[in-house]
Amino acid sequence: MRCPFCTADDDKVVDSRPADESAAVRRRRECLACGRRYTTYERVEELPLVVVKRSGVKEPFDAEKLRGGIERAVAGSAIDPSAVDALVAEIEELARATGPEVASVVVGLAVLERLRQLDPVSYMRFASVYKGFEDLGDFEREVVELQKATAPKVRRR
Ligand SMILES: [Zn+2]
């Protein structure tokens, strides 16, 4: 470790203890060149969560982008921002549990499944954007499924 005082790269660890509720290790080091002491912290490198598109392209999971898509879908509906927050958190948790790589279709379908329960209009909007980019046939099948799920029973006249 390069000494912050004299920039020599020669030190010994004089003390090592857990820090930040054991999320880190704090080390006191002594520079063997100038004798001064400094502190370093070692942490686990967070695994990046990666979304794999159907095309095979990989991109970092972006919770803000996901939130933006959901917010556009629920605009004007009765779904409030705290419900959107909860939904984004739930989807991110699910993606991390699946990760470090998760298919975009898994993320999209998880959002759809929850929106379908919350609000049919938002569900359709999200489906039209999400499916529209990838497969129109899937979207049409979704519409048929939704109509089946929500259509009132036909009354006898
Ligand atoms: Zn030094």
Between the CA atoms of 83, 84, 89 and 93, what dihedral angle is there, to the nearest 10 degrees?
100
CA 1 – ligand 1 centroid, Å: 10
Quote the pLDDT of residue 124.
85
Tell me which of 133 and 60 has the higher pLDDT. Answer: 60
The answer on pLDDT for 3 being more than 50 is yes
CA 18 – ligand 1 centroid, Å: 24
pTM above 0.85, yes or no: no
CA 33 – ligand 1 centroid, Å: 5
The answer on pLDDT for 133 being more than 50 is no
CA 24 – ligand 1 centroid, Å: 24
The answer on pLDDT for 20 being more than 90 is no
CA 22 – ligand 1 centroid, Å: 28
Alpha carbons 77 and 122: distance in angstroms, whole number? 7
What average pLDDT does range 109-130 have in this prediction? 86
CA 14 – ligand 1 centroid, Å: 14
